[in-house]
């Protein structure tokens, strides 16, 4: 990171940003062409979890290249300085990381992942019927590295 004064190294702080984020963007690459998609997610034990339709561009790309980059941000706010838009700035906390994506196939693995995803947004617990679980793809990203950044705070 170029601006070391903005870097967040404390894993607890990084995880608190992840826990507060509502959207995770994952970046993929197909034939050296980038593709990024915002997703609902869950986080546990240094892994991200996503649910998806079992087919589509994201699925096709991951099958060919499971290297991913991800980004989450919270508390974004534009900071304006009167009469000088060249001095405007943005306040935020963010996390950027890299990992490998894998598809979960076993019913119980998928149910646990769905609980992690739903648990990110709700304290309620749910049952997932077998036919519904079988309709979705579950993507697990094993995080290899991540860094946090703060600006304006």
- What φ, ψ does residue 115 adopt, rounded to 5°? -65, -40
pTM: 0.92
Tell me the pLDDT tens digit for each residue of 113-135: 999 999 999 998 889 999 999 99
Domain that includes residue 138, residue range: 4-151
Q: What is the CATH number of the domain that holds 142?
A: 2.30.110.10
Which two three-digit tokens encode residue 67? Answer: 């290297």
Average pLDDT of the chain is 94
**Sign of the CA dihedral running 98, 100, 103, 106:** negative
**Whether the Cβ atoms of residue 110 and residue 133 lie closer than 8 Å to each other:** yes
**pLDDT value of residue 82:** 81
Concatenated DSSP letters of 108-120: HHHHHHHHHHHHH
Tell me the pLDDT tens digit for each residue of 26-41: 999 999 999 999 999 9
Overall domain count for the chain: 1
Distance CA 3, CA 150 (A): 10
């Amino acid at each position: 990171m170029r601006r070391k004064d903005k870097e967040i190294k404390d894993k607890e702080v990084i995880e608190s940003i992840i826990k507060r984020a509502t959207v995770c963007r994952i970046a993929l690459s197909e034939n050296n062409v980038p593709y990024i998609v915002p997703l609902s997610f869950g986080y546990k034990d240094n892994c991200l979890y996503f649910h998806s339709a079992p087919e589509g561009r994201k699925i096709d790309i991951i099958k060919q290249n499971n290297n991913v980059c991800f980004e989450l941000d919270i508390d974004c706010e534009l900071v304006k300085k009167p009469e000088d838009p060249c001095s405007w700035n943005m306040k935020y906390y963010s996390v950027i990381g890299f990992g490998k994506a894998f598809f979960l196939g076993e019913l119980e693995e998928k149910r646990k992942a769905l609980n992690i995803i739903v648990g990110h947004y709700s304290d309620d617990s749910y049952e997932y019927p077998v036919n519904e679980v079988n309709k979705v793809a579950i993507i697990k990203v094993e995080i290899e590295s991540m860094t946090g950044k703060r600006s304006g705070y």
